[in-house]
A and B are shown apart, each in its own frame.
Chain A
Amino acid sequence: MKISTKGRYALEAVLDLAVYSEVELESLNNISERLQISKNYLEQLFSVLRKKEIVASVRGAQGGYKLARSSKQITAGEVIRAVEGPLSPVSCIDEGKCNNTGEYKECVTRLLWQKMMDEINRAADGVTINDLVQSYGKMKKKDAIEYFI
């Protein structure tokens, strides 16, 4: 049961963008270089993120990306779901019907999977991009001190 590279890279890229676009727009080239993710792949992810109004782009020579909203108003869950779709551990709960021979309404495992999805969303929606930026700032500071020592 895994979240694909799409979800992982999207979240890392949005965090990176949030950190580096506070003053000026940021280019995908820079994000790509820092995160070691191909620019092509980032372009695909950002095109989805733009449609979901998580990031916004400005065209032109001085163009680039920034967050579409305040980092406090974007949750990690929103970013992951934008590229991964619903975070359901089984497909039957997205479709609302049993893919096997069973009766969906009478299936108890469906209730467990539903509950699992709720728990996944609860964890992912409990963290905003701003929380990640703050945490990243602290980690960077600590990293710098350790390096100095």
Chain B
Amino acid sequence: MKISTKGRYGLRAMIDLALYSNGTHVSLFSIAQRQGISGIYLEQVFATLRKAGLVKSVKGAQGGYLLCESPKDIKIGQILRSLEGDLSVIDENESQKAEDSLISACVKENVWDKINENINLLVDKVTLEDLIIEQKKLNEGSIPMFYI
């Protein structure tokens, strides 16, 4: 059960963008360099983030990307769902074949739905700003106080 590279890199890129943008745009190249991610791959990730309305692009030689909203208004859930799709731990299409089985229905209701609920509650509670604050603390070498 894993979050894909797209989700992992996308989240790191969003944090990087928020940390380095200072209200202006940041070039994709510099994010790629700082994060050690291929620029071509990051372009695909940003195309998805742009379609989801999370980042805007500025064209031209000095172009780049900026966040559409303030980091405090961007939930981690928005970022992850735009890149990963729904964050369900069970493939709904696959489980449909056994929908008439009471055993599957019972496990779904009591376990899979509960796990999904916990995941979604977490990612919709944490904002991009929360992660930036924690990242700054980590950079200063202090012990993280992840309060979420």
Contacts and interface: CB of A to CB of B under 8 A. Distances in A.
Interface string B79-98: 00000100111110011001
A88 B2 CA distance: 7
B30 to A, nearest CB: 15
B36 A3 contact: no
Contact of A115 (B90, B115, B146): B146
Interface stretch (B20-28, B65-73, B104-112): B104-112
B103 interface: yes
B135 interface: yes
Chain A interface residue bracket vs B: 35 or more
Contacts of B101: 12, 35-36
B134 A111 contact: yes
B119 A132 contact: no
A90 to B, nearest CB: 6
A84 B103 contact: no
A91 B2 contact: yes
A6 to B, nearest CB: 10
Interface residues of B, number: 51
B107 A109 contact: no
Interface stretch (A41-49, A51-59, A60-68, A99-107): A99-107
Interface string B20-52: 000000000000000111000000000000000
Given A88-B1, A90-B8, A119-B119, 16 more contacts: A1-B89, A7-B1, A8-B90, A8-B95, A8-B104, A36-B101, A90-B2, A90-B3, A111-B144, A111-B146, A112-B126, A113-B3, A119-B121, A123-B118, A127-B110, A132-B106
Q: Nearest 9 A-B pairs (CB), nearest first?
A: A101-B36, A108-B135, A119-B118, A123-B114, A123-B118, A123-B115, A136-B106, A89-B3, A76-B111
